Structure 1
Amino acid sequence: MTYLLALDQGTTSSRAIVFDTDGAQVAVAQREFQQHYPQPGWVEHDANEIWATQRDVAIEALAKAGLKAADIAALGIVNQRETLVVWDRATGEPVCRAIVWQDRRTAAMCRQLKDAEPIFRTKTGLLLDPYFTGTKLAWLLDNEPGLRARAEAGELAAGTIDSWLVYKLTNGKQHVTDASNASRTLLLNLQTCEWDNELLDILRVPAALLPAVVDSSGVCGEVSGVDELNGIAIAGLAGDQQSALFGQACFGKGDAKNTYGTGSFLLVNTGTEVAASHQKLLSTVGWRIGGVTEYALEGSVFVTGAAVQWLRDGLGIIKQSADVEALANQVPDTGDVYLVPAFAGLGAPHWDPDARGTIVGMTRGTTAAHIARATLEGIALQSVELAEAMRADTGLAIDELRVDGGAASNDTLMQMQADLLQAKVIRPKVTETTALGAAYLAGLAVGVWPDRPTLAKQWAVDREFEPQISADEAAAKRARWGEAVERAKGWAADD
């Protein structure tokens, strides 16, 4: 039997999963690591802790599976996107903590650069927002004493988490990133899949800092310096949402998936052409294989699963997140209550950082069950907004949505999603699609699977949800939701 190892480096934990050639999970290991909040709006990670936890869970997962490095055909890396690491090329040590994708310290810089946003939008498919890596790197060079001079002298290396892990796994031999991660930096030209000199000049980022851009599926090095892993080929790299799209076998133009986690991320495959968005969605690289780049449109919702955590931790109306389904099912509807979970502003398609969480429509008869149900509907309705924006941008029907992530196990939420989207929602048997995508990319590169049609045959359905309400009823709910969203917008704006 042949096995693949997926390293799943997330925002709060590092995981490793061993898969067999049927795509079945053989063993898993996971460790959380510390979050650092040095100032309001700042979020940092210790890059050495990320490396140590990811290395250790890889070793642990192999041990749990009773396997050795020689049993692993290849490993793939999937990672939290946009997070920045800068390190010393000579020592391999980070020069400071990693700046996490959630970090907002560059908000003022983004406002100052607004006149250049059309250039960034055209070339990168992204908006100017602190979310992305480029302004984090520019900020670091301007604010950490001595870094700019060292960067210009070629003494430093920078990259997203995939770059950092490959560098450490190869004992400093490889400084690379894949096209999907590179497309999240504000520095990559989507059309050429190369670093763009004009964008580098605007942000004053020396090209010498940056990694080589490689295929998402392809051998880019092998592990050395970690006894239990030495010799394993590193053959798959992808950002987490693109990896989930691949793991869901969304290989055809128009195929779409939605991942329900802390936030939600809906991606649709747009084929080999960049689909420009007029709805404030993001154009991004899906993956690059054999030198051929395929693209996706992405919509990001900042708070979905986190809203359920708020019901648990903030309101105390449920004891654990899974309890939300039973509570929501105590009532047949929300009683015209709408909850807009804009706790961190609104993402796509609104991009309103000043929006705030809002509950509208409450009466004296409103209960905890109504609020719980409105929370689930709010999660589904935010995804409907993304899907409608994608339909408008692409002309694609999106009549089928593949789902994954923790909340995809909530049958009530999935039924709401089908109802409000007026489309079939399909939950696969394997919901670890983010890690599975990395394993698939690695396995393709070394011939474990011959092609994508073979992988598509492995994708299997757990349950399908069909709409159970009329299109008119769904449209009325969406219109009412739009009114609630308007009440949430701009709340935190100051002079």
Structure 2
Amino acid sequence: MTGPVLAVDQGTSGTKALVICPERGVLGTGFAAVRPRHLPGGLVEADPAELYESVLAAGHRALAEAGEPVTALGLANQGETVLAWDRDTGRPLTDALVWQDRRAEHVCTELAPHAEELRELTGLPLDPYFAAPKMAWIRRHLTREGVVTTTDAWLVHRLTGAYVTDAATAGRTQLLDLDRVEWSDRALDLYQLTGENLPEVVANDQPVGTTTAFGPEIPLTGLAVDQQAALLAQRVTAPGGAKCTYGTGAFLLAHTGDTPRRGTSGLVSCVAWRLAGRTSHCLDGQVYTAASAVRWLTDLGVITGAADLDRVGAAVPDSGGVTFVPALAGLAAPWWRGDLRGSLTGLGLDTTAGHLVRALCEGLAAQVAELAEAVATDLGTPLDVLRVDGGLTRSALLMQTQADLLQRPVEVSALPDATALGVGVLARLGAEPGLTVHDALPDWKPAAVYEPRMTADEAADRLGTFRTAVAALLDRAPA
């Protein structure tokens, strides 16, 4: 039996670290904020040095609180955030282009005739959200030097000297052959990235090296993209289950088994994880702005933070006819219209802060309900329950609204930091050959369960109003 492991989740707005013991649970936690820069024109950048320093700071804080050594390290990453860097020195050659960044739109426009070929090959729609368009943009406009990768490869190299990425993260690039789980020469050719020195694609539980960045030497034995790590932590390890993480954005993933399921409802088909030589797959749907939409409302002075959602929303019984499509960074799945902007309609002189909060919660929940319906369509069976995690699950108003619009129970994870918990499981699997996934996962029981209180007809009416507002946005915007 391995001892405690250090699990680090390097996210968009911060890095969270946990020291996790199989028997005693979480022994220490650490957090370090990251401040991405939101620039005009849909540009979002981060300082690579800040990302790395946040990993070190959060990890050191968790270890200091735990007060005991760890036997392995797991690292989760943002997925589609990319940079160019020098392999000899580890020095960044560009800023990191964050997954929300839209500057590679024209790369996708040029490749539009090959959109279906790329979707069939990689499981991903053509959109600047994914890594390859941003990688191609960097090569065209910033530098031809060094290597261009997702941030995980750079962080791992800084920590251990290894040059690798895990199968799940590679699956978020639009450069991975989904069926063979290896880099696609054809996709590289289409993106004019032929000849790029890409990292080795490794399993999610594969030891890749050791680091002394946190003091004593620690083997790095678990790697994952953030949402797949959360899927694992929620014990969604077989077809039929789904989870949604409410972070900067909201991300719904449904397990689909050992073979890729290319859906027709606008969802992404990708690698869930590769463990002990066996690849599992999932369907994935995204909402670009969740906590970031709450932060937007906070910046306007409507609320003082996410903790205000329930208090302010409780002042009114409903949204008062206000409809909010919180597409503040565009619409992702199933529409894939990142060029759209959000809408707030039905305002009157009687509209209060409470109505705006209610409308925001309904808008977020409606988008997730649309993703759940798309999953049900692609799998041919409705979801029985939705397991949820992330900071916004602390809002009873949002979770109740989610259950109402979904017309399914919503089970809230007892540990909001499911991504870190999941990559901690991967670190244990990599450090202890022969350990099964079932044995590595902690017992799962929800901290709360929200049952629908709204009738099916009322839920359908609310979703219909939201869809009408989305249709109005689609009608007004050029395709």
TM range (shorter): over 0.9
Q: Distance in 1 between matches of 2:251 and 2:409?
A: 18
Where in structure 2 are the equivalents of 1:197-208 lying within 5 Å? 197-208=185-196
Contact 1:59/1:229 (CA < 8 Å) preserved in 2?
no
Aligned amino acid, residue 130 of structure 2: F
Counterparts in 2 of 1:366 and 1:42: CA distance versus 1, 3 Å: closer
Identity %: 40
**In the alignment, which residue of structure 1 is the partner of 2:26?**
25
Q: Distance in 2 between matches of 1:141 and 1:363?
A: 49
Q: Distance in 1 between matches of 2:275 and 2:302?
A: 47
Among 158, 164, 168, which residue is 1:180 paired with? 168
Q: Which runs of 5 or more structure 2 residues have no equivalent in the other structure?
A: none
**In the alignment, which residue of structure 2 is the partner of 1:153?**
none
Q: Distance in 2 between matches of 1:364 and 1:295?
A: 49
Where in structure 2 are the equivalents of 1:454-493 lying within 5 Å? 454-456=439-441, 458-489=443-474, 491=476, 493=478
Range that drifts further, 431-440 or 352-361:
352-361
Contact 1:6/1:77 (CA < 8 Å) preserved in 2?
yes
**In the alignment, which residue of structure 1 is the partner of 2:13?**
12
CA offset digits 1:67-101 (Å, max 9, x no partner)? 2xxx3121110011111132222222222222221
1:192 is the counterpart of 2:177 = no
Q: Distance in 2 between matches of 1:14 and 1:365?
A: 41
**In the alignment, which residue of structure 2 is the partner of 1:215?**
203
DSSP 3-state at the match of 1:489: helix
DSSP 3-state at the match of 1:30: strand
Among 67, 79, 82, which residue is 2:80 paired with? 82
DSSP 3-state at the match of 2:351: coil
Counterparts in 2 of 1:64 and 1:326: CA distance versus 1, 3 Å: same
Q: Distance in 1 between matches of 2:402 and 2:243?
A: 12
CA offset digits 1:194-233 (Å, max 9, x no partner)? 0001111111214451001000112121224x36042x11
Range that drifts further, 21-30 or 436-445:
21-30
DSSP 3-state at the match of 1:86: strand
Q: Report deviation, 1:438.
A: 0.3
Among 213, 222, 227, which residue is 1:236 paired with? 222
Contact 1:125/1:276 (CA < 8 Å) preserved in 2?
yes
Q: Report deviation, 1:158.
A: 3.3
Q: Report deviation, 1:53.
A: 2.6
Q: Distance in 1 between matches of 2:469 and 2:39?
A: 34
Q: Report deviation, 1:38.
A: 6.7
Q: Give me the CA root mean square deviation.
A: 2.0
Contact 1:83/1:100 (CA < 8 Å) preserved in 2?
yes
Contact 2:203/2:274 (CA < 8 Å) preserved in 1?
yes
Counterparts in 2 of 1:207 and 1:396: CA distance versus 1, 3 Å: farther
Q: Report deviation, 1:5.
A: 0.3
Counterparts in 2 of 1:448 and 1:333: CA distance versus 1, 3 Å: farther
Among 113, 116, 123, which residue is 1:115 paired with? 113
**In the alignment, which residue of structure 2 is the partner of 1:246?**
232
**In the alignment, which residue of structure 2 is the partner of 1:432?**
417
DSSP 3-state at the match of 1:458: coil
Contact 2:5/2:424 (CA < 8 Å) preserved in 1?
yes
1:60 is the counterpart of 2:58 = no
Q: Distance in 1 between matches of 2:38 and 2:413?
A: 36
TM-score, with structure 1 as normaliser = 0.92
CA offset digits 1:284-339 (Å, max 9, x no partner)? 1110101111111111011222222222222x222222112122122222233211
Contact 1:355/1:490 (CA < 8 Å) preserved in 2?
no
Contact 1:339/1:378 (CA < 8 Å) preserved in 2?
yes
TM-score, with structure 2 as normaliser = 0.94
**In the alignment, which residue of structure 2 is the partner of 1:257?**
243
Q: Distance in 2 between matches of 1:397 and 1:429?
A: 25
Among 135, 139, 154, which residue is 1:164 paired with? 154
Contact 1:120/1:127 (CA < 8 Å) preserved in 2?
yes
DSSP 3-state at the match of 1:283: strand
Q: Report deviation, 1:368.
A: 2.4
1:326 is the counterpart of 2:311 = yes
Q: Distance in 2 between matches of 1:227 and 1:399?
A: 42
Counterparts in 2 of 1:359 and 1:399: CA distance versus 1, 3 Å: same
Where in structure 2 are the equivalents of 1:337-486 lying within 5 Å? 337-447=322-432, 450-456=435-441, 458-486=443-471
Contact 1:301/1:348 (CA < 8 Å) preserved in 2?
yes
Q: Report deviation, 1:364.
A: 4.2
Q: Distance in 1 between matches of 2:238 and 2:384?
A: 14
Q: Distance in 2 between matches of 1:353 and 1:279?
A: 17
DSSP 3-state at the match of 1:443: helix
Q: Distance in 2 between matches of 1:38 and 1:432?
A: 29
Q: Distance in 1 between matches of 2:121 and 2:228?
A: 19
Q: Which runs of 5 or more structure 1 residues have no equivalent in the other structure?
A: 151-155
Aligned amino acid, residue 401 of structure 2: M
Q: Report deviation, 1:120.
A: 0.8
DSSP 3-state at the match of 1:486: helix
Aligned amino acid, residue 206 of structure 2: G
Counterparts in 2 of 1:352 and 1:444: CA distance versus 1, 3 Å: same
Aligned amino acid, residue 111 of structure 1: T
Q: Distance in 2 between matches of 1:19 and 1:456?
A: 12
